[in-house]
C-alpha cells in the first residue's frame, strides 16, 4: 500500500478491504473485485534481460503490479448492445453516427439497405470494413434486427441504444 501520504495510505487501505484477496489464482466472482497478483502484464518486462559477464548474474526487469478484476452478471438485457459495441461501435460509434465518408452512419441503415445486404456486409466486409465471420447466427440475426430497426431522428420512433 502506498505510504506517499497518510491520507493516500488510508484511502488505499479502505479500498483494499473491499476486494477479495485470497492468494494466487483465485477466480473472479460476480460483483466483487478480486486482487490478481502477479497482474496480467506478466512477470518479465519487455526490455529483456541483461547479463553481467564478470559476476555471471542475469538481471531481468520485472512487473510486480497487482491488478483487480471482476465478472459482470449475464442478464441478457444488453446482449444486442454488447454485440453492437464490440463489433461495430469502435468505428461507427456509440451513437451509430460513424465518421463519414470513411465510416458511414448506421442510423436508418435499414431504409437504405435490405437485410440481405446488411448481412453480406457484416459477414464479408465492404470497403475499409472487415468481415465478421466470428458472429454466431443468433448474434448476426440480433444485430441485423437491431440495425434495421434504427430510425432517423425525424422519424416517428426515435432510436436510443438499449441499456
pLDDT the model gives residue 56: 95
Contact between residue 102 and residue 91 where contact means Cβ atoms under 8 Å apart: no
Residue 1's pLDDT is 81
- Residues in contact with 61: Cβ distance below 8 Å, sequence separation at least 6, in sequence order: 44, 45, 46, 47, 48, 49
Whether 59 maps to a domain, the answer reads yes
pLDDT in tens, 105-121: 999 999 999 999 999 99
* Tens digits of residue pLDDT in 27-69: 888 888 999 887 777 665 567 788 999 999 998 877 777 888 8
Q: pLDDT confidence of 148, banded at 50, 70, 90?
A: confident
Residue 143: inside a domain: yes
Three cell numbers, residue 106: 448506421
How much is the pTM? Answer: 0.47
Which residues are within 8 A (CB) of 95 and not within 5 positions of it... i.e. 6 or more apart? 161
CA–CA–CA angle 134, 79, 121 (5° rounding): 40
CA dihedral 78→86→158→77, nearest 10 degrees, is 0
Instruction: Note whether 22 and 65 are same-domain residues.
Output: yes
Question: Domains in the chain: how many in total?
Answer: 2
Q: What would the pLDDT profile of 60-97 be if each residue is shown by its tens digit? A: 877 777 888 888 776 665 578 888 888 898 889 888 99
For residue 53, tell me if it sits in a domain. Answer: yes
What SS3 state is found at 114? coil
Average pLDDT, the chain: 83
Q: Which of 69, 96, 124 lies at the terminal end of a domain, its last residue? A: 69
* End residue of a domain, out of 26, 42, 69: 69
User: Which of 21-25, 101-105, 148-152 has the lowest average pLDDT?
Assistant: 148-152
Q: List the domain range (segments joined by +) for residue 20.
A: 6-69
Residues 57 and 109 in one domain: no
pLDDT at 71: 84
Q: 125 and 86 in one domain?
A: yes
Amino acid at each position: 500500500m502506498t505510504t506517499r501520504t497518510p491520507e493516500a495510505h488510508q484511502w488505499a487501505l479502505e479500498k483494499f478491504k473491499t476486494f477479495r484477496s485470497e492468494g494466487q489464482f483465485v477466480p473472479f466472482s460476480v460483483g466483487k473485485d478480486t486482487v490478481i497478483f502477479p497482474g496480467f502484464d506478466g512477470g518479465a518486462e519487455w526490455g529483456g534481460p541483461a547479463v553481467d559477464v564478470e559476476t555471471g548474474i542475469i538481471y531481468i526487469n520485472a512487473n510486480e503490479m497487482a491488478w483487480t478484476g471482476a465478472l459482470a452478471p449475464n442478464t441478457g438485457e444488453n446482449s444486442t448492445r454488447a454485440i453492437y459495441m464490440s463489433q461495430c461501435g469502435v468505428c461507427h460509434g456509440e451513437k451509430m453516427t460513424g465518421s463519414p465518408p470513411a465510416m458511414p452512419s448506421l442510423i436508418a441503415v435499414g431504409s437504405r439497405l435490405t437485410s440481405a445486404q446488411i448481412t453480406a456486409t457484416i459477414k464479408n466486409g465492404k470497403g475499409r470494413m472487415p468481415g465478421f465471420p466470428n458472429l454466431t447466427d443468433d448474434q448476426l440475426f440480433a444485430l441485423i434486427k437491431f440495425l434495421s430497426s434504427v430510425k432517423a431522428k425525424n422519424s416517428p420512433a426515435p432510436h436510443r441504444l438499449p441499456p
